[in-house]
Amino acid sequence: MLLFLPLVWTQAGLPEFQGARIVRIVHGECEALRFGTVNDPNLSHGMSSGETEVTYDVADHVATLTLNAPERMNTISGSMLQQISELLLRADHDPDVRCIVLTGAGRAFCAGLDLQAQMAGPKGGLGSLGGGEATFSGEFDLRNAPPVVLHNLDTPTICALNGGSAGYGLDLALGCDIRVAVDSAKLNPGFAKRGILPESGGTWLLPRMVGYAKAAEIAFTGRTLTAAEALELGLVNHVVSADEFAARTMALANEIAANAPLAVRAIKRMMRAAETETFEQNVHHVFLQLLPLLRTGDFTEGVTAFMEKRDPEFQGR
């Protein structure tokens, strides 16, 4: 069943995901169901009202993570980094979740790191950018950083680019498996214009998406790309009008979620492994992934549904 979400129009005329959902709220070992919206601060899953910079909800096997700091165009603070990683892992470990949608509240998807907070000192969690005495410990542990966590997820991910993305936000978008952009969205790879480099995955992702020469031009010039230009380059899968944006994105997510989840996760693992394997290595790896799938109830259901000419009902086991 397709889930079509009602839209809430902001002053900037851009859509936000919003609508009634059933969401699992976990408190310790207790679990309860409640209704709410993507932008409802009560859906923070244990976070206090001052910490709900990323909201989370699940409906029809689709988890939606919304960057929820529209007053600063969803620029990423240190606490937001932690919440993104935690919620991505929560979704990936939830057997009820078969697809993850990452989007933003307000008129932007994500305008990069919250430089104002970082200039103020180390409290933002990324160290001080204000000069003077160093605040770093001397080493980085990026294993739990959002780009690394996002890359290692087995659950399919869709970035719903509800508006502009820049810097770290652009790399987060590129790190998702699929991107759907509203037609007014812009992609700003302006790292070189700020005296830095794409520290959040862009140097690895971009050449693999568009080839070295195109990636070099995009990164070296730092020119802002329109949604139409991003579509032509293959950086986004779909560009849609604002009034169709949420419905089209969730329809795609539900189409993915309707398939056998164990098979989809295995396909994603093997496509990711293929980036560093030879053809022969990947063929053998795929065969080892196939064997356990042949013993699942979903495989039996898929074959039976095909023979009976009906839609399958997969259980994820």
pLDDT 10s digits, 26-80: 323 222 222 223 333 333 333 333 468 999 999 999 999 999 999 999 999 888 9
Q: What percent of the chain has pLDDT over 70?
A: 76
Q: Which pLDDT score is estimated for 140?
A: 63
- Has residue 160 been placed in a domain? yes
- Has residue 192 been placed in a domain? yes
Domain count, the chain: 2
- Has residue 317 been placed in a domain? no
One domain, residues 202 and 302: no
Other CB atoms within 10 Å distance of the CB of residue 285: 15
One domain, residues 268 and 236: no
pLDDT 10s digits, 151-172: 999 999 999 999 999 999 999 9
- Has residue 313 been placed in a domain? no
Q: Read off the tokens for 96.
A: 């009820």
Q: What is the pTM of this model?
A: 0.79
CA 115: distance to chain centroid?
22
Mean per-residue pLDDT of the chain? 82
If you average pLDDT over residues 248-267, what whole number do you get? 97
Q: Which pLDDT score is estimated for 118?
A: 58
- Has residue 103 been placed in a domain? yes
Range(s) of the domain holding residue 152: 7-257
One domain, residues 183 and 231: yes
